[in-house]
Structure 1
Amino acid sequence: MMDLKLWLSILMVCAMAESQILRKDWLIDVPSRIPVLQSSCVVIPCVYFYPKTKKILNRWRGFWKRGDTIVASNFLNLRLANEFHMRSRITGTLQSGNCTWQLYGVRETDTGPFYFRIEIPQHKSFTFSKNTVTLNVFRVPKPPTMSVAVQDEVTATCKVTHVCPSSPPKFSWSHSGIRKTKSKKENKWLWSTTSTLTFTPQEADFNMPLNCTVTFPGKKTTKGSVLLIKKSTK
């Protein structure tokens, strides 16, 4: 009798585990919130998983939506609402599970919440309505982070963060010199870009501000400044 109860318990646990696995077959990984500069662009990273099947699949249709409005799709014959026409597209390859979405010319009204729907005609469809993305749109870019080192040469850096790696910000300096720019991925949705300026200082350069101007997509700018202090010879 005990063996039968134990066996029934095991069967129940296995059934529950299988049920849990089936329920979790549709999975998605998206950020819940992303801060975005108005007029700039943003890349919303997205990875999804669907139930396995032995069927041969050759069509995937993806839709990013806000309520009932489609804001992006890989379906070329679909015309988006005028609000998103020509400035929104899915850049990921849906058949490989990449549902990344890129939005250009971000407006104050582009807050969301947005969610993703996948349709696989030979298999199944699913709407990830509980996994929403909200854009926190701000108007004024933050000043860059700056540093300077003065030896025989001046090495100054000017760094900002952004959410559009395909269109990084541009830098200009108030002094001539050798300029180098590099970008780095900070997390799934945030990037940093740093401009480094190197030059040999003249006496007139000391106790003067060295300015860095950063221009983002959409022509919004921010500025930073550091003072060149002559290194003591003592």
Structure 2
Amino acid sequence: MEEYRDRTSLVPGDNSCTLRIDPVRREDDGDIYYPAIAGYTFMNAYEEKSGIVSLRVIETVNIHLYVPKVMKEGEATTIRCAVNHTCGSSPPDLQWNKPGQIKKNSVKLEDGSWTEESFLTYIPSSVDDGSDALCTAEYPNIVAKRGKSLNILYGGSGIGKILLPVMIGAIGLLLLLLLLYLYWR
């Protein structure tokens, strides 16, 4: 078991026999372990009936990013980022590229895995319209990012998005008509 030297430790805690492997390598995928507790004959690594633990290495990080389809300028809104992981004692750190108040939450799932959540209370601004809200998940051995475009209505009703180009067009048309009038006069 030389390949695990300096990469394994027991997770601290009362009555914890959880083995931590850090860093996990791609080559570890599919390895089979025979858990045994020293001194107990009923859990002998050489017995066929012993429990078996298989290691599955997944390289892809799935970031779930929930951004409202439309936001109104100046009205606080919540954006959520969530990732699943398997080590409650070393959760990934979730970070945002937008300013705002951040609340974090860890949820233990029934299968022994965890969901790490980060909620960003964001005040939309028209200057951010069309930009991405980006969530970065930093694990011990990998960094993953996911972004979604922000659709921000400004002027309260979003009329500013339409009104400004219409006004510019109308002024341009009036200037053209004035020039034509002066030319034909």
Indicate whether the TM-score tops 0.5.
yes
1:196 is aligned with what amino acid?
F
Mapped contact 2:79–2:122 kept (Cα < 8 A) = no
Q: For 2:21, which of 80, 103, 109 is the aligned residue?
A: 103
2:12, 2:96 → 1: CA distance?
36
Which string of whole-angstrom CA distances, capped at 9 and with x for unpartnered residues, describes residues 89-127 of structure 1?
233779x5x53222110012223101111233xx74532
Cα distance in 2 for residues equivalent to 1:91 and 1:212? 28
Give the structure with the higher percent strand. Answer: 1
Structure 1 residue 224 and structure 2 residue 146: aligned? Answer: yes
Checking the alignment, whether the CA contact within 8 Å between 1:114 and 1:134 is kept in structure 2 is: yes
Structure 2 equivalent of residue 113 of structure 1:
32
Task: State how far apart, in whole Å, the 2-side matches of 1:132 and 1:207 are.
Answer: 51
**RMSD, matched Cα:** 2.6
Structure 1 CA distance, aligned partners of 2:146 and 2:134?
Answer: 6
Deviations 1:166-201 (A, max 9, x none): 111112212111112111111242111011111211
Report the Cα distance in structure 1 between the residues aligned to 2:111 and 2:12, rounded to whole angstroms.
14
Residue 139 (structure 1) aligned with residue 59 (structure 2): yes
Deviations along 1:49-91, whole A, 9 cap, x unmatched?
A: xxxxxxxxxxxxxxxxxxxx4xxxxxxxxxxx3x222221233
2:123 to 197, 200, 204: 200
Say if 2:128 and 2:152, in contact at 8 Å, map to a contact too. Answer: no
Provide, for residues 109-165 of structure 1, a one-character-per-residue CA deviation record: whole Å limited to 9, x for no partner.
223101111233xx74532554211111133323x1011243611211111001111
Query: In percent, how many aligned pairs have the same letter?
Result: 26
Indicate if the aligned counterparts of 2:93 and 2:137 stay in contact, CA closer than 8 A: yes
The structure with the greater share of residues assigned to helix is 2
Trace 1:159-170 onto structure 2 (pairs within 5 A).
159-170=82-93
Q: TM-score w.r.t. structure 2 length?
A: 0.68
Determine the C-alpha separation between the residues in 2 that align with 1:92 and 1:158: 28
Letter in 2 for 1:178: Q
How many aligned residue pairs are there?
148
Report which stretch shifted further, 162-171 or 180-189.
180-189
SS of the residue corresponding to residue 194 of structure 1 reads strand
RCO higher in structure (CA 8 A, sep ≥6)? 1
Please give the TM-score of this superposition, normalised by the length of structure 1: 0.55
- The residue number in structure 1 matching 2:76 is 153
Gaps of 5+ in 2: 159-185
Of 81, 94, 111, 1:171 maps to 94
Detail structure 1 runs of 4+ shifted over 4 Å in the superposition. Answer: none
Ranges in structure 1 where 5+ consecutive residues have no aligned partner: 1-68, 70-80
Structure number with greater Rg is 2
